[in-house]
């Protein structure tokens, strides 16, 4: 068997993995990154790329200094006893330092954004400036590596072609004032970006997760850190109770890679493993319901368990209501669409059961929590009317008149139900027409007054963030009254699982006795989430992945605080 020695072996190539790799290389380590799939970046590259970082230097520079004590109190109140308090304290103290470090030493650039926390009713929540958006990157700066990076998730592209920042996404998806001029500007920039446009349908301007991963890749290039693609880890190897490396398969050959200072597992969750989903997650479940990359099948989790690691939060995931389209290899999450006026979600009894404008994690969790034999929520139905159809986007369905429905993509027409009245729609979705009509009538009567006494929709700053600013008095509420009426089936989908290997404050994997497994670290969704079963704000997945990747590398390299 071939043999190679490095200081640090990183398994996986998402945001947490590449942050750890850069940090170790910057400290002088010989680093190797191995990636199972044919492209680097993982789910991080396909995501919005946001990170949740309290009290960042950029937020302070913009006049929005944060109180670390309030941030800690906020996440402690949400998470409870699911995560040791020391880890939460470590995150709040370290996250902004990690971001400043990358800004000073790497190509990674972020800007704080006025995006409210997801639980504004909890003490310590803020109405903005903890979520950060990656600064766009031009694809040609990556050279041939652009073609080797995971492309954005389809739902993060306009017309399947060009990208948007968080601020642009809000304008376009909610059709707020300025949306149409922005769309025209983006279309013109794309159309006249020659000769790039003849090379690929994808826009040259990278945003979100592609901008983040692209910037991390440039940073690794400057340090000479290689990324081996199509190189899955077969197993961990160890000696005298310490992990000393791994066996990696590359080009049909098994290579024994010894890591003198540590192995960092960053292989993602088990969201695309039917077996592990059936074993651990709430039922019903399906790998088809994940928006994560298909290579997330729990490889790192299995290797860690074999090495004697403890696990936690295995029943948890980053939930979100979503829908499925034929021909696509992952689910589409309804991040924004649920908060827009003239829409509701009903169960198979024809009744509402949630605040549709709540965060996607909360809404997805409600689909599981409220699932009952007498009123199943899997699937539920996302219901909207012609007003909604005419103004807002929904997946590949661009805003337009009902007369344009025949020109929709076949996979969208296949799931779309449409009727000239509510009774007809009720028949198509299989709910009691009287119950359904009564539910819509009750919703409408309150919506015209901007109220939702049943579930409080539109009461919080987060709810209103993705509402339609032109609709008053509540930007998330308007009657469902204009025929024809529509519905699509939705499921309790996920962005990835977030239960996994237990780790300490430095990302060291712990055994079943709570002791560190020497030489082994885990970050991102292969580890039990630092945010527990909660989702404090946009970027609460990548923020901890990058922060604990930074801490893991520093610990392995003995870099002192």
pLDDT of residue 92: 98
Task: Phi first, then psi: give them for residue 169, nearest 5 degrees.
Answer: -60, -45
Q: Express each pLDDT in 49-103 by its tens digit.
A: 999 999 999 999 999 999 999 999 999 999 999 999 999 999 999 999 999 999 9
- Among 201, 227, 259, identify where a domain stops: 201
Instruction: Give the three-class secondary structure for 497.
Output: strand
CB 348 within 8 A of CB 340: no
Q: Express each pLDDT in 102-147 by its tens digit.
A: 999 999 999 999 999 999 999 999 999 999 999 999 999 999 999 9
Same domain assignment for residues 333 and 472: yes
Report how far residue 310's alpha carbon sits from residue 317's, in angstroms, rounded to the nearest whole number. Answer: 18
Question: Comparing C-alpha atoms, which of 83, 18, 95, 99 is closest to residue 503?
Answer: 83
For residue 47, CA distances in Å to 9, 166, 272 come to 25, 12, 16
Question: Comparing C-alpha atoms, which of 7, 37, 45 is closest to residue 545?
Answer: 45
For residue 411, being part of any structural domain is answered with: yes
Q: Express each pLDDT in 382-405 by its tens digit.
A: 999 999 999 999 999 999 999 999
**Vertex 253: Cα angle to 251 and 259 (nearest 5):** 105
Q: What is the end-to-end Cα distance of the chain in Å, rounded?
A: 39
Q: What is the pTM of this model?
A: 0.96
CB 182 within 8 A of CB 74: no
Same domain assignment for residues 473 and 344: yes
Q: Express each pLDDT in 239-285 by its tens digit.
A: 888 999 999 999 989 999 999 999 999 999 999 999 999 999 999 99
Report how far residue 280's alpha carbon sits from residue 273's, in angstroms, rounded to the nearest whole number. Answer: 11
For residue 536, being part of any structural domain is answered with: no
pLDDT of residue 163: 86
Place of tokens 């600013």: 469
Report how far residue 67's alpha carbon sits from residue 117's, in angstroms, rounded to the nearest whole number. Answer: 14
For residue 520, being part of any structural domain is answered with: no
For residue 512, being part of any structural domain is answered with: no
CB 9 within 8 A of CB 170: no
For residue 558, being part of any structural domain is answered with: no
Residue 561 has pLDDT above 80, yes or no: no
Domain that holds residue 338: 321-494
Token pair, residue 519, equals: 């030489």
Token pair, residue 114, equals: 């006025």
Number of domains in the chain: 2
- Among 169, 201, 233, identify where a domain stops: 201
């Amino acid at each position: 068997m071939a043999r190679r020695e490095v200081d640090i072996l990183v398994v996986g190539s998402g945001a947490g993995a590449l942050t750890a790799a850069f940090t170790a290389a910057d400290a002088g380590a010989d680093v190797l990154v191995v990636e199972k799939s044919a492209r680097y970046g993982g789910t991080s590259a396909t995501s919005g790329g946001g990170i949740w970082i309290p009290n960042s230097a950029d937020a302070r520079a913009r006049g929005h200094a944060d109180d670390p004590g309030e941030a800690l109190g906020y996440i402690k109140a949400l998470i409870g006893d699911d995560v040791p308090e020391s880890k939460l304290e470590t995150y709040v103290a370290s996250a902004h330092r990690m971001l400043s470090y990358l800004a000073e030493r790497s190509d990674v650039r972020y800007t704080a954004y006025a995006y409210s926390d997801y639980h504004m009713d909890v003490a310590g929540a803020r109405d903005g400036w903890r979520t950060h958006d990656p600064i766009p990157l031009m694809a040609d700066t990556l050279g041939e590596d652009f073609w080797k990076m995971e492309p954005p998730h389809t739902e993060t592209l306009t017309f399947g072609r060009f990208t948007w920042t968080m601020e642009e996404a809000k304008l376009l998806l909610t059709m707020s004032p300025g949306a149409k001029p922005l769309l025209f500007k983006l279309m013109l920039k794309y159309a006249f970006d020659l000769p790039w446009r003849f090379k690929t349908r994808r826009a040259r301007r990278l945003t979100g997760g592609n901008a983040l991963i692209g910037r991390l890749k440039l940073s690794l290039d400057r340090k000479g850190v290689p990324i081996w693609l199509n190189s899955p880890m077969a197993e961990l190897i160890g000696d005298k109770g310490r992990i000393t490396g791994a066996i990696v398969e590359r080009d049909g050959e098994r290579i024994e890679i010894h890591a003198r200072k540590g192995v960092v597992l960053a292989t993602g969750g088990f969201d695309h493993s039917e077996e592990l989903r059936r074993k651990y997650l709430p039922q019903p479940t399906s790998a088809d319901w994940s928006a994560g990359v298909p290579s997330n099948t729990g490889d790192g989790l299995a290797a860690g368990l074999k090495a004697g690691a403890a696990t936690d939060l295995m029943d948890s995931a980053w939930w979100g209501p979503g829908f499925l389209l034929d021909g696509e290899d992952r689910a589409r999450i309804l991040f924004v669409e649920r908060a827009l006026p003239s829409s509701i979600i009903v169960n198979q009894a024809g009744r509402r059961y949630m605040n549709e404008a709540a965060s996607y994690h909360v809404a997805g969790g409600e689909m599981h929590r409220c699932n009952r034999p007498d009123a199943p929520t899997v699937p539920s139905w996302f219901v909207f009317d012609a007003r909604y159809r005419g103004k807002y986007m929904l997946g590949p369905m661009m805003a337009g008149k009902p007369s344009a429905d025949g020109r929709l993509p076949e996979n969208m027409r296949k799931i779309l139900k449409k009727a000239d009245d509510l009774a007809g729609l009720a028949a198509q979705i299989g709910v009691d027409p009287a119950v359904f009509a009564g539910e819509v009538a009750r919703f409408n009567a309150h919506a015209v007054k901007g109220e939702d006494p049943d579930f409080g929709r539109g009461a919080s700053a987060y709810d209103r963030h993705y509402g339609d600013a032109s609709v008053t008095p509540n930007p998330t509420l308007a009657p469902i009254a204009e025929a024809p009426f529509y519905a699509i089936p939705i499921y309790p989908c996920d962005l990835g699982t977030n239960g996994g290997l237990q780790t300490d404050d430095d990302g060291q994997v712990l055994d079943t006795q709570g002791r560190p497994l020497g030489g082994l670290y885990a970050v991102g969704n292969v580890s039990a989430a630092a945010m527990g079963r909660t989702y404090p704000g946009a970027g609460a997945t990548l923020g901890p992945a990058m922060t604990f990747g930074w801490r893991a590398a520093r610990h392995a390299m003995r870099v002192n605080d």
